[in-house]
Amino acid sequence: MRNPLAERVVDIKPSGIRKFFDIVNEMEDAISLGVGEPDFDTPWHIRDEGIYSLEKGRTFYTSNAGLMELREEISRYIKRKQGVTYDPVKEVLVTVGGSEAIDIGLRAMLNPGEEVLIPQPSYVSYEPCTVLAGGVPVIIELKAENEFRLTAQELEDAITDKTKVLILPFPNNPTGAIMERKDLEAIAEVIRKHDIFVISDEIYSELTYTEKHVSIVEIEGMRERTVLINGFSKAFAMTGWRLGYACGPEPILEQMTKIHQFAIMCGPTTSQYAAVEALCNGDEDVKEMRTAYNQRRRFLMNAFKEMGLECFEPFGAFYVFPCIREFGMTSEEFANRFLQEEKVAVVPGTAFGDCGEGFLRISYAYSIENLKVAIGRLADFVARLRAEKQ
Amino acid sequence: MREELLAIVERNSRIDLKELAVILGVEEIDVVNELAALESEGIICGYHTMIDWEKTSIEKVSALIEVRVTPQRGQGFDNIAERIYKYPEVTSVYLISGGFDLLVTLEGKSLKEISGFVSDKLSTLDSVLSTATHFILKKYKDHGTILTKKYEDTREKVTP
């Protein structure tokens, strides 16, 4: 029999997180700081709206681009948050999570061999999606001394005449880094100069703790060359509803909608009705959750300080990214030993790119009570490692 | 800080001051001062414990009583409310809008004790026109806390 598989797919490395997941799952009593989703239930009024839509029998396809009502609300929301206008008819597309938008955005924009700049550490899907779209991933290794922000120089150095798209993953998973307006202005200049495009994954936009999130589309000349991706998972604790969206210039969105139409048809209908409610009446919930995350973030930063663990202060998402180089172990060795000896799961930084070596991703999508137990064990573990070294 | 502080201590009045300072991002002395101010302004009125008496062997019965009263000239409802809230078995008294005037919650050892209170003490007050007593059969949620179910983390243990 012939090999039924496509080399392009077989050659993609399985997600590093998957491997770790299997180990953790076998350990019954392990506690985890390893999740990338909120611990809050979806606010009840949003769930209730989903239930109500089912009761009313709204169980059919919506239009390909999504419920008009939802697209209008998305357009209003982006206007309210970012001050930028998108035409709900032609410039907004409702997708199955932000992840689908990343995939079809790349597929709509890449010709074979064109390069995609991917700052790492970052979410696991940009690299494989680029490959599947026929593009060539080019990694930009972000540095701890820059607080894992992307600098204009780093961008400039990575650009070639094949460069087509820059992925902009801020607020960042796994580092918690954000890009402030001045940072965005600096890279925007380079982007305009070299005439490249941006896919800006802003799924954590509601979770910033110093100032309001700034989107690259707010910077002059960037709206027309950017696909803005966002969704409901992180802001409204709606990961399982699988609903996100893309906003961008009509020519790109039109082609993305074409792929979406053939591959997906439309986003889940129940989720779309719930999402309308989230955008109309969810501000208070978002604020409450943000406040809780911020308290946990401060709690963790203080705990690291007390145990003398090096960690830059992240101002976004719900992750901290401490450095464990002092122990002379790889991230994976550290995470494995910590799991075996203290039964706490954290994710090695290398799951998000090679330059995550020497770091761990610790999620604070857990109650302070849970964090206390886990961080207590981390303090014990760190103390033991230091004693061993002496 | 005030609003955030109140939201935290409303849920957990036993929280450690040092921890409170850490999660609010302020100094411990600021927390101490703010709590003292909130107490002296009468905004924080007490630090109570929520107990689900159902789970103990101690018998307790609670009831909500709707009370219709005649307000008094110059006093409104205050006098009659005071006469009612002074009884120790009364746990709360609210003046409310709608079909009756006062909502009184009551805690007693038995149905008999509560009905005795209503017929002997409450109904016989001069300005009380009528009462309607509702016994509480089960508490599902109280003070924002769900009593019937425990939080369970059903997320996958590790996700990207």
From the list A165, A155, A225, A169, the residue with the least C-alpha distance to A192 is A225
Nearest to B160 among A25, A39, A124 (CB): A124
CA A62 – CA A56 distance, rounded (Å) = 15
Question: Is B10 within the bounds of a domain?
Answer: yes
Q: Is the per-residue pLDDT at A331 higher than 80?
A: yes
Q: Where are the beta strands (DSSP E) in A13-170?
A: 31-32, 92-95, 115-120, 136-141, 163-168
B151 in any annotated domain? no
**Of A172, A102, A110, A101, which Cα lies nearest the Cα of A136?**
A110
Q: Is B90 in the same domain as B111?
A: yes
Mean pLDDT of chain A: 97
pLDDT band at A98 (very low <50, low <70, confident <90, very high): very high
Does residue B148 lie in a domain region?
no
pTM for the whole structure? 0.94
pLDDT digits (tens, 9 = 90+) for A205-225: 999 999 899 999 999 999 999
- B48 assigned to some structural domain: no
Across the A/B interface, how many CB contacts are shorter than 8 Å?
A: 55
Q: What is the pLDDT of residues A254-271, one digit of tens each?
A: 999 999 999 999 999 999
Say whether B158 and A39 touch across the interface (CB within 8 A). no
* B71 within domain boundaries: yes
**Mean pLDDT, residues A359-381 taken together:** 97
Most A-contacting residue of B140, B158, B159 (CB-CB within 10 A), to test interface: B158
Q: Do B19 and A351 touch (CB under 8 A)?
A: no
Determine the Cα–Cα distance for residues A77 and A82; give it in Å rounded to an integer: 8
Asked if residue B82 and residue B31 are part of one domain, the reply reads: no
Do B24 and A299 count as a contact with CB atoms less than 8 A apart?
no
Q: What pLDDT, on a 0 to 100 scale, did the predictor assign at position A70?
A: 98
Is residue B81 one of the residues assigned to a domain?
yes
What average pLDDT does range A9-13 have in this prediction? 93
pLDDT for B75 beyond 90: no
Task: Look at chain B and report how many structural domains it folds into.
Answer: 2
B33-38: average pLDDT: 97
Same domain for B118 and B82: yes
User: Which CATH number is B30's domain given?
Assistant: 1.10.10
pLDDT for res A231: 98
What domains are defined for chain A?
A: 7-42+284-383 (3.90.1150.10), 44-281 (3.40.640.10)
Letter for the amino acid at A181? R
| Interchain proximity A39–B155, CB inside 8 Å | yes
Q: What is the mean pLDDT of residues A163-185?
A: 98
Chain B residue nearest residue A34, CA to CA: B158
Locate the chain B residue with the closest alpha carbon to A123: B160
How far apart, in Å, are the Cα atoms of A222 and each of A65, A121, A188, B73, B151?
A: 23, 24, 7, 70, 44
* Confidence class for position B152, pLDDT limits 50, 70, 90: confident
* The pLDDT value given to residue A2: 95
Give me the residues paired with residue A9 across strands.
none
Give the pLDDT band (50/70/90) at residue B151.
Answer: confident
Q: In this structure, are B23 and B89 located in the same domain? A: no
Whether B16 and B90 map to the same domain: the answer is no
CA–CA separation, A270 and A257 (whole Å): 20
* Residue B150 counted as domain residue: no
Q: Which CATH number goes with the domain that contains B97?
A: 3.30.70.920
Q: What is the DSSP letter of A315?
A: -
In this structure, what DSSP letter does residue A235 have?
Answer: T
A72 interface with B at CB cutoff 8 Å: no
Same domain membership, residue B73 and residue B135: yes
Q: pLDDT at residue A227 above 80?
A: yes
Residue B119 to chain A, least CA–CA distance (Å): 41
pLDDT in tens, A125-156: 999 999 999 999 999 999 999 999 999 999 99
Mutation choice for B interface testing from A17, A288, A295, A304 by most B CBs within 10 A = A295
Give the SS3 label for residue A165.
strand
Q: Using CB atoms, pick whichever of A15, A39, A298 lies closest to residue B160.
A: A15
Residues of B in contact with A284 (CB under 8 A): none
**Claim to verify: residue B133 and residue B57 sit in the same structural domain:** yes
Write out pLDDT tens, residues A23-48. 888 888 899 999 999 999 999 999 99
Write the CA distances from B97 to A166, A316, B83, B130, integer angstroms: 60, 45, 20, 16
- pLDDT value for B150: 82
**B32 and B67 belong to one structural domain:** no
Assign A197 a pLDDT band (cuts: 50, 70, 90).
very high
- Interface pTM, i.e. ipTM: 0.88
Looking at the predicted structure, is the pLDDT value of residue A19 above 80?
no
Answer yes or no: do B61 and B24 share one domain.
no
Q: Which of A25, A32, A122 to mutate to test the interface with B (most CBs of B within 10 A)?
A: A32
**What pLDDT, on the 0 to 100 scale, is given for residue A15?**
80
Same domain, B27 and B62: no
Tell me the C-alpha distance between A336 and A382, whole Å.
Answer: 14
Average confidence (pLDDT) over A110-136: 98
Indicate if the pLDDT at residue B71 is higher than 90.
no
Identify the pLDDT of residue A16: 75
- Residues B74 and B114 placed together within one structural domain of the fold: yes
Q: Is residue B62 part of a domain?
A: yes
Q: Say if CB B49 and CB B55 are below 8 A apart.
A: no
| Per-residue pLDDT band at A169 (split at 50, 70, 90) | very high
Q: Which chain B residues have a beta carbon less than 8 Å from that of A299? A: 19, 22-23
The domain containing residue B66 runs over which residues?
Answer: 53-139
Domain identity same for B10 and B59 = no
